[in-house]
Structure 1
Amino acid sequence: MTTPPFDPPSEADIAVVSAQLGRTARGVVGIAARCACGNPTVVATAPRLADGTPFPTFYYLTHPAATAAMSTLEAEQVMPELAALLDDETTAAAYLRAHEAYLADRAGFGDVPEIAGISAGGMPTRVKCLHALAGHALAAGAGVNPIGDEALRRSRWSPGRCECLEPGAASAAR
């Protein structure tokens, strides 16, 4: 099984992610997507943390503006609308493929029986967490996760426009 192509985290990346999260970043195995300025937007996280905790969320959205945008969509009750898209057989099949791709990406970093078959965001049958689905869509690229793509399209945030909160943080990740 091949592992997804992403940058290994640098010390500067870990510092930026820790600042984004407001806590020490844990289990980061890669930077799966970056802001237009180069800062991390999505991290890939080990499926088992150093303390032994299983961690199913392989693609973890860390960018504060992106996470705020997904929280806004959730607060605006967009999730039922996105879940209704799964009534379409083509969308449901694509969402199932996204789930399978997510599991395959994570499997390259270890087998954790406690989370076998569990991806993130409610995949493959529900829409549960837009943060996880948007993180996967950003990491995997457009066209892989239809619900994540749609959440990003509906959000007020864009991966092509820097909205990093700290002016000096942009140069720290490069």
Structure 2
Amino acid sequence: MSENAPADAPATSPEPALAPVDPQDLAVLEEQLGRVPRGVVGIAARCVCGRPLVARTAPRLPDGSPFPTTFYLSHPGAVAAASRLEAVGVMKEMNERLAHDDELAAAYRAAHEHYIAQREALGHVEEIAGISAGGMPTRVKCLHALMAHALAAGPGVNPIGDETLELAKDDWRPDRCTC
């Protein structure tokens, strides 16, 4: 667990405040991603064992590039589960429902606004103003990004991210360590 979160906090609880990124977390992220992580400002969600699930990234990378993906899914098991769901065409059905279900569409737009607000809290980058991730607010484009947002924000914020977590539970779950 982070220094900011109580030891008994749920695995997917968001960090209450940004603390300096622990070098051990950066080492774990590098191991998980297979590359040096870029622009990490915090760990947005952790495995029940304490290792990162989701990195929180700056809206502008150190090289100056704008980076809209505030919540970056890092855990290999979660990444694989999201990839499997994408491979079997889950997004097509989600997009169809999104186009015809006004309540789902409104909740998804609210998730988009939440995502943008979370990024804006880190700083404003004009090139990505109004852009969130995962296809929000009008389509489902990347289950990895939506799962990361759901893990970082907690249940009830991103309906498609929550649904992705539910669909992935036979392959990967945030309440069971597979690190």
* TM-score normalised according to structure 1 size: 0.90
Listed one character per residue, the Cα deviations across residues 16-75 of structure 1 (whole Å, up to 9, x for unaligned) are 001100011111011000011110000110000010010000000000000000000000
| Letter paired with 2:41 | V
1:147 aligns with 2:160: yes
- Given that residues 45 and 57 in structure 1 are in contact (C-alpha distance below 8 angstroms), is that contact kept between their aligned partners in structure 2? yes
1:35 to 22, 47, 51: 47
Give the CA deviation at 1:84: 2.2
Q: Work out which structure has the larger RCO, using CA pairs closer than 8 Å and 6 or more positions apart in sequence.
A: 1
| Separation in 1, partners of 2:47, 2:18 | 13
> Aligned letter for 2:75?
H
Work out which of the residue numbers 5, 10, 23 in structure 1 matches 2:16.
5
After superposition, the Cα gap between the structure-2 partners of 1:100 and 1:91, relative to the gap in structure 1 and judged at 3 Å, is same
Give the stretch that moved more between structures: 121-130 or 79-88.
79-88
Quote the Cα distance in structure 2 between the aligned partners of 1:13 and 1:82: 33
| DSSP-derived class of the 2:62 partner | coil
1:19 pairs with 2:34: no
Residues 20 and 63 in structure 1, CA contact (< 8 A), matched pair in contact too: yes
Is 1:6–1:31's contact at 8 Å kept on the other side of the alignment?
Answer: no
Q: Which residue of 2 aligns with 1:57?
A: 69
* Cα distance change of structure 1 residues 10 and 20 upon mapping to structure 2, 3 Å threshold: same
Which segments of 5 or more consecutive residues in structure 2 lack a partner in the other structure? Answer: 1-14
Identity %: 63
Deviation of the 1:81 alpha carbon: 1.3
User: Partners of 1:105 and 1:26 in 2: how far apart?
Assistant: 18
Alpha-carbon distance in structure 1 between the residues aligned to 2:22 and 2:147 = 23
Of 75, 99, 123 in structure 1, the residue corresponding to residue 87 of structure 2 is 75
- TM-score, with normalisation over the residues of structure 2? 0.87
- Count residues with an aligned counterpart: 162
For the pair 1:125 / 2:138, whether they are aligned, the reply is: yes
What is the rounded CA distance, in whole Å, between the counterparts of 1:24 and 1:72 in structure 2?
A: 25
Structure 1 segments of 4 or more deviating over 3 A? none
